[in-house]
Amino acid sequence: MYITVDNQNTFVATGGKPFNPNLPTVVLLHGSGTDHRGWALQARWFAFHGYSVFAPDMPAHSLSAGEALTSIEAMGAWLVRALDAAKVSNVHLIGHSQGFLVALEAAVLLSKRLLSVTAMATASAIPVNPALIETAQKDPALAAQMMLQWGFGNQHQYGASAVPGMQPIGIGQRIMANNPLAIDLAACNAYTAGSKRAQQLASEGCASCVILAAQDRMTPKKEGFKLAQDLGTHAQVIADTGHMLPMEAPKQSLSIMKTFIQTLEK
Amino acid sequence: MSKSSFLGADTIALHSGYQPESDHGSRAVPIYQTTSYVFDSVDEASALFNVEQGGHIYSRITNPTVAVLEQRLAALEGGAGAICTASGMSALFVTFFSLCSAGDHIVSAAQIYGSTVTLLKHTLKRFNIDCTFVDINDQDALAGAIQDNTKLIFCESIGNPGLAVSNLPAIADTAHQQGIPVVVDATFATPYLNNPIQHGADVVVHSVTKWIGGHGVAVGGVVIDGGNFDWLKSGRFPTLTQPYEPFHGMNFWEEFGPAALAMRIRCESMRDIGAAMTPHNAFLLLQGLETLNLRMQQHVTNAQAMVAWLQQQDAVAWVNHPDINADAHTKTLFPKGAGSMLTFGVKGGRDAGAAFINALQLSSNLANVGDSRTLVLHPGSTTHSRLSETDLVAAGISADLIRVSVGIETVKDIQADFGLGLRAAAKVAMAQLAQTEA
Ligand SMILES: Cc1ncc(COP(=O)(O)O)c(C=O)c1O
């Protein structure tokens, strides 16, 4: 669906069902330079099993208009305005990589409307090599290639695909090369409040789930374990996958996500 | 440049899309000779049907062995995804069928494979899809042929039978200026010699039957979605950018973006037309693909040697190969050589051509190309035998034309074989001369 946020046309994937703001809403937040399509499979499951799905393209990403936001804090605040625009009441926030940093910022603003947070292949801080940011400014396609070479795990480097016949590296490359990757990476690099925010959520008793990838070379799992500690939970690690976890292991990641959220709902 | 893999082409051809499976560690890609797949539970079945989960349901739609070939070819061509089909013709059909509806229009290169001409000129016409044929390297003619309802520009990267090389960057420029995608049949080039997506093509089709298989034992096709075309911005493709009711109301562009076309073909054409590749054929074609790069080197080396040799033979009237007096774009697009097809004429016309073919012992006289063995055909006495001399000329085929798909045999043996043919052709030519003089 398209909604208007800050006067800008904004795309929000709803998992193939009309959006119903009165159901508990699963918010799926994409990582740097990517878009809602990384969540295609998980989104449909939630949408067809009693939840509403809200998977936005951040401003200036893929199908959303507007200017790219330059800080994680601004992205978190934008997300809350987007949820308000869609009249969403209760949310489970799920973020991949940068998307989880955005979730942390939004979580604090959502207070009672927040039901849980789920972190996927991420950490409380995501420092980015300045050379990569510079490459992303000058040659986004090359930077996307570097990130995907680093980002996908071994199976996907050898052409594996959860959807028969597809090339996730080829798909990711085209999406990232056309999105404001450099701005996203700079925002990640500048963000330092993650650990504090995570601890704050834990102290408020927010339910949380951390899913890590065994072959993650972008946000190494030891950083993910620290995040889990900040959130007061245990991390679960999926074998044979890299940083692009939602695309690389949709079935395994969904299984953990849905068990966590369904248990909370009970 | 868009990449789909960070492995080199030789490695992709051998490894992409398959890593030894965990049950038995089979090094070779197993043949999943099955029509269907057991669901773990009712929940899993409904998740698969509702696209909440990737996986296999029924082999008309997807099959694990076929998927390896698809993923490998997508990686080799640098695409976003691929769909294998029962033949090259069905790959072309599902591509046109997915991009066009009744009332739409295609602009095609005039010099293309004969069955593709009939598909575009007669078969699709019955469904009210029109086609205008143009000289594809004449950009003014191409731009002039585009209409409001034009949905795609079609060409072969190396055209059949004239062997003209399509100037892909120029064609893509003309097409993209008007929001139209370029579909390229790259059968004669193979992914080893040229990757059309890198030069602006949006969709690539191969008859996998030919060089990719190489053994000449299995028919198959593939459509590779280049993933770079913005179907929404173009505004011409409701089949990809609006909900498709018969498949969960899916909006392929919103849901799959760069792989929208591949997924539309999967969800509509494979379901409703069902021109699926069999797992056994996928396995055979994978055996060929694994050595494509090595074979192509020999194909091209042999073709170049044959061109040079034929040019020196008295009985030969003319020789055509895209590398002879190559255009600038041919040199840029085909730095490793423009394929292993050549045509030549023997002195003495149609009868001498027929005598050439009849005298051959090593080379096979048949209607195929891209086998590892050398193949020859004399269209004037076979496929086009019913045409008058004038009609032959209009079809770009002179009466003396012999089409050769140069194989990978020891080149001196091909030359010796052609020597037999040329001697027989020369006898006919001499007899004709004697008759004229008498
Ligand atoms: C250029 C070209 N495209 C397509 C085809 C059709 O392929 P198939 O025979 O696999 O259907 C051929 C067959 O000769 C061909 O030469």
- pLDDT mean over A201-222: 97
- Does some domain include residue A83? yes
CATH number at residue A49: 3.40.50.1820
Q: At what angle do helices A181-190 and A72-85 cross, to 10 degrees?
A: 110
| Chain A interface, Cβ < 8 Å to B | 11, 13, 16, 35, 37, 40-42, 44-45, 48, 62-63, 141, 145, 148-149, 155, 157-167, 169-171, 173-175, 177, 250-251, 254
B219 within ligand 1 shell (Cβ under 6 A): yes
Regarding pTM above 0.90, the answer is: yes
Structure confidence by residue, pLDDT tens digits, B336-394: 999 999 999 999 988 999 999 999 999 999 999 999 999 999 887 787 777 777 777 76
Maximal CA-CA distance, chain A: 50
* Contact status, residue B67 vs residue B17, Cβ threshold 8 Å: yes
Identify whether A152 is part of a domain.
no
Interchain pair A167, B5: CB under 8 A: yes
pLDDT number for residue B162: 86
CA distance A190 to A212: 23
Residue B311 DSSP class: H
Q: What is the DSSP letter of B266?
A: I
Instruction: Return the exposure string of A256-265: e unless at least 16 CB atoms fall within 10 Å of the residue's CB, then b.
Output: bbbebbeeee
A156 part of a folded domain: no
pLDDT at B256: 95
Is pLDDT at A113 greater than 80 in this prediction? Answer: yes
Integer distance in angstroms from the first to the last C-alpha of chain A?
A: 29
Q: Look at residue B21 and tell me whether its pLDDT is greater than 90.
A: no
Q: Is B213 in the pocket of ligand 1 (CB under 6 A)?
A: no
> pLDDT at position B399, please?
83
In a domain, A136, yes or no: no
CA distances from A119 to A225, A254, B301 (A): 11, 12, 55
B8, burial (CB in 10 Å: exposed 0-12, middle 13-18, buried 19+): exposed
Dist CA B267 CA A219 (whole Å): 36
Three-state DSSP class for residue B106:
strand
Mean pLDDT of A235-242: 97
From the options 3.40.640.10, 3.30.2130.30, 3.40.50.1390, 1.10.10.10, give the CATH code of B9-289.
3.40.640.10
Taking only the tens place, the pLDDT of each residue in A21-68 is 999 999 999 999 999 999 998 999 999 999 999 999 999 999 999 999
* Fold entry, domain B294-437: Aspartate Aminotransferase, domain 1 (3.90.1150)
* CB-based contact A62:A178 (threshold 8 Å): yes
What is the tens place of the pLDDT at every residue in B224-270?
999 999 999 999 999 999 999 999 999 999 999 999 999 999 999 99
Tens digit of each residue's pLDDT (9 = 90 or more) over A120-158 = 999 999 999 999 999 999 999 999 999 999 999 999 999
Q: Which domain holds residue A82?
A: 2-127+191-265
pLDDT in tens, B303-333: 999 999 999 999 999 999 999 999 999 999 9
Nearest to B407 by CA among B311, B298, B293, B322: B298
**Is the separation of the CB atoms in B283 and B208 below 8 Å?**
no
Report the residue from A145, A166, A177 with minimal CB separation from B81.
A166
Q: What is the residue extent of each domain of chain B?
A: 9-289, 294-437
Q: Is the pLDDT of residue B1 over 60?
A: no
Give the bridge partners for A200, in sequence order.
none
Q: Is residue A171 part of a domain?
A: no
pLDDT at B217 over 60: yes
Cα-based torsion angle of the residue sequence B228, A68, A23, A20 in order, rounded to the nearest 10 degrees: -60
CB B54 within 8 A of CB A163: yes
pLDDT in tens, B102-148: 999 999 999 899 899 999 999 999 999 999 999 999 999 999 999 99
d(C-alpha A20, C-alpha A53), whole Å: 9
Question: What tens digit of pLDDT does each residue of B340-352 get?
Answer: 999 999 999 889 9
In a domain, A132, yes or no: no
Residue A172 lies in a domain: no
How many domains, chain A? 1
B161 confidence band (pLDDT: 50, 70, 90): confident
ipTM: 0.96
Answer whether residue B2 shows pLDDT above 70: no
Query: What's the whole-number mean pLDDT along residues A105-115?
Result: 95
**Alpha-carbon gap, residue A132 to B94, rounded angstroms:** 41
Contact A150, A216 (CB under 8 A): no
- What is the mean pLDDT of the segment spanning A203-222? 97
State which of B206, B210, B343 you would mutate to test the pocket of ligand 1, scoring each by most atoms of that ligand within 8 A of its C-beta.
Answer: B210
Burial of B122 (0-12, 13-18, 19+ CB in 10 A): exposed
pLDDT value for A265: 81
Torsion of CA B52, B57, B63, B64, to 10 degrees: 60
Ligand 1 in reach of B166 Cβ (< 6 A): no
Packed helices B292-311 and B411-437: angle between N→C axes, nearest 10 degrees:
30
Cβ–Cβ gap A171/B80 under 8 Å = yes
Position B65, amino acid = T
* The residue type at B191: P
Residue B406 binned pLDDT confidence (cut-offs 50, 70, 90) = very high
**Residue B369 CB–ligand 1 contact under 6 Å:** yes
Mean residue pLDDT across chain B = 95
A6: in domain: yes
If one counts every other C-beta atom within 10 angstroms of the C-beta of residue B71, the result is 29
